[in-house]
Structure 1
């Protein structure tokens, strides 16, 4: 059963524009991004990339 909750993405915020670029390739416009307290449900693609970077 799919959840209606939005996925929590990992990303970095642009100092110049305020947009957030996620690890899975999404660009979230300035003002739409939020800092969640919890990381569930996490984006599987962002988490896979994050884990791969930690192993390097």
Structure 2
């Protein structure tokens, strides 16, 4: 019998984390950089540099 957490196997949890977890963190980083660029009133080049 395989060990499960809430009915999911370790492989399923890992696949979910890699698919949605990494994507979510990338979106969060884009939001943070965009917010920094907006608050500092950076232009196109400054936003690209961030």
TM over 0.5: no
Compare the two structures and name the one with the higher helix fraction.
2
- Max Rg structure: 2
More strand by share: 1
TM-score under structure 2 length normalisation: 0.30
Looking at both structures, which has the greater relative contact order when contacts are Cα pairs under 8 Å and sequence separation is at least 6? 1
